[in-house]
A and B are shown apart, each in its own frame.
Chain A
Amino acid sequence: MRHLRAINKKARRIDDLLSTTEGDFVALQQNNAAQRPHYPMGCSIVFSPGWEVDSTGGTAGLCQPVERDLYDCYISCYWPAQVPDHLNNYPEWTSKCAAATKDWRNIDLVFP
């Protein structure tokens, strides 16, 4: 590292880790000769049909967990996904889910 200088022990571990994994981040990148850290080109920050898989057909290269989509269908998306009616019948549906990426397991099951 030339621009950051590791000061404490954890920083030195991060530094060591980076120097051993340089060039390992390939997910969405083209197979160019110089392997640079991966900046994903598409993502699932919002539900956007067509972007739920990465270039390899998997989900590892996405910058958000796929589960995030479920929540976004409900909160902010135009896409007519089948989610519980949170205005009238199931207002508490997501009350235990403060951060979708971590708490999506707490979203209630609903049996209409």
Chain B
Amino acid sequence: MHLQVSEFHQFEAGGNPFLYLVPSGGIFAVDELSRKALAIAKEQPREAKELLDALVASGATVEDARDCIEELVGARALGPEGGWKEPIDEAPAKFPLQTLVINLTNQCNLSCQYCYEYGEDKVATPEGKAKFMELETAKQSVDFLFKESAGRNSVHITFFGGETLMNFPLLKQIVDYSQSEAKVKGVTIDYSLTTNATLLRQDIIEYLSTNAIGVTVSMDGPKEMNDQLRVFANGKGSYDIIVPKVKELLKHHTTRPIAARVTLTNGVRDVAKIFHHLKNEIGFHEVGFAPVTTSPTRLYAIDEKGLDDVLGQFEKLAYEYLEFALRGEHHGFSNVSDTLSELHQGISKSHPCGAGLGLLGVGPSGDISPCHRFVDSDEHKLGHVSEGMDSTKQQDFLKRGHVNAKYDCESCWARPVCAGGCYHEAFVRYGDTGHANLHYCDWIRGWTDLCLKIYGEIATHNPSFLNHFDQRKAS
């Protein structure tokens, strides 16, 4: 029987060597002897005895060498030739719903060119469907959430659009209705919404704050960047309209942290400048970035070189996050805190996200979709709130999305956190939600490696900071 190195990613942080184990997601600090054992086993598979002898020859005691090998095998850093092959459990057939994203309307008062709902790569087929959700459909959606989340004592409703606030009256009605139902059922509900901020008013801000509704503002940075693509139908930029409203929001909405969500495009990718503008000049609590989802031929698409450039900028900002973390301070670059949270838990994903599992989207017509990005798309419809889920379609979606169904992911060390990446991105690029997002592989590995190093640094120099991540984020 030969032992060989199993799957893991080795990294150094704070001068110490670490292992990120795959697929378990465990992170271990390793001592010099373990490092030696792995280096020897890496050259070629060895008999356990041969490995032990080599370690003893290098100066270790027999007992130390044996314990070391046992620990490495126990943690599965070493394993039988051919690797540890154990089937990962399939997702359970019945999974209680946690989050419902309700699209109050599919209408929007902006005409952002890259919009995944209306832009050139849209998947939605809204023709002939309701443009604004009716109260009856909204109530059915809430009932659906309660029914499908049976067993949970807290659930989440996210309001989405179109532009969410174009149907603010319905938002209030949904909050009222769901609160009265929740009291009867003894369930707590947490609310949030995403908005372009153009329609914020004093009374709306007060309402959102009073009801502790979390707010994410879609905004792309300083004026010259935000106004490149976030424009009204007449081409006029939205920056001047939204900034005073956002400042009012930040001043008066005090019950929840307010986040900005930035879409990076070819012309808008000065990450540090955008971050510091939104965080320090405007005053957002945190800022998250995502490259635009698009087919590669669009003018605003970021090419491979551009993505490398973005990663380089993310790295700089991530090390700034580290400086803050080592001082025990909040920084606000949410891409880092999201990834650190996953690394801290050591999650190993069967699916890239909760879409179709713990999270579902509902369109204005009441059609159910895997998430808000597929709302109003006939092809991706998973049922209707009045009739319930089409479990055959749901199972098909989940089966194709399972990381084990993606051959390209099989040998990748970043699969515990990635699992193939966003379904919507995959559909836009490859026409299949179950396709791995191959155009992002190097990027994801680079980003995960960077965040592992940040994690290792924090674990070495200020481990108590990691307590922030003890509570697992739901959904």
Contact = CB atoms under 8 A, between A and B. Distances in A.
A14 B24 contact: yes
Given A2-B31, A10-B25, A102-B404, 19 more contacts: A3-B30, A4-B19, A4-B34, A4-B72, A5-B30, A6-B27, A7-B28, A8-B25, A8-B346, A9-B470, A10-B346, A11-B346, A13-B346, A14-B21, A14-B75, A18-B75, A41-B1, A63-B1, A64-B85
A7 B33 CA distance: 18
22 contacts: A3-B34, A3-B64, A3-B68, A4-B29, A4-B30, A4-B34, A4-B71, A6-B27, A7-B456, A7-B459, A8-B27, A10-B345, A10-B346, A10-B348, A11-B26, A11-B75, A14-B21, A39-B3, A41-B1, A64-B80, A98-B407, A102-B404
Interface string B59-103: 000001011101111110100111001010000000000000000
Contacts of A65: 85
B74 A40 contact: no
B73 A37 contact: yes
B346 A9 contact: yes
Interface of B: 1, 3, 18-19, 21, 24-31, 33-34, 48, 64, 66-68, 70-75, 77, 80-82, 85, 87, 343-348, 404, 407, 410, 455-456, 459, 470
A7 B29 contact: yes
B70 A37 contact: yes
A99 interface: yes
A48 interface: no
Q: How large is the interface on A (under 10, 10 to 19, 20 to 34, 35 or more residues)?
A: 20 to 34
Contacts of B470: 9
A43 B404 contact: no
A40 B79 CA distance: 11
- A4, A9, A64 interface centre (most CB from chain B within 10 Å): A4
A82 B296 CA distance: 48
Given A2-B67, A64-B85, A10 B26 contact: yes
B469 to A, nearest CB: 9
Contacts of B77: 4
A15 to B, nearest CB: 8
Contacts of A45: 80-82
Interface of A: 1-11, 13-14, 18, 36-37, 39-43, 45, 63-65, 98-99, 101-102
B346 to A, nearest CB: 2
B27 A11 contact: yes
B26 A36 contact: no
Contacts of A40: 1, 80
Nearest to A63: B80
A39 B51 CA distance: 13
A8 B1 CA distance: 31
A8 B24 CA distance: 11
A67 to B, nearest CB: 11
A101 B21 CA distance: 20
Given A18-B75, A102-B85, A102-B404, A8 B343 contact: yes
Nearest to A42: B1
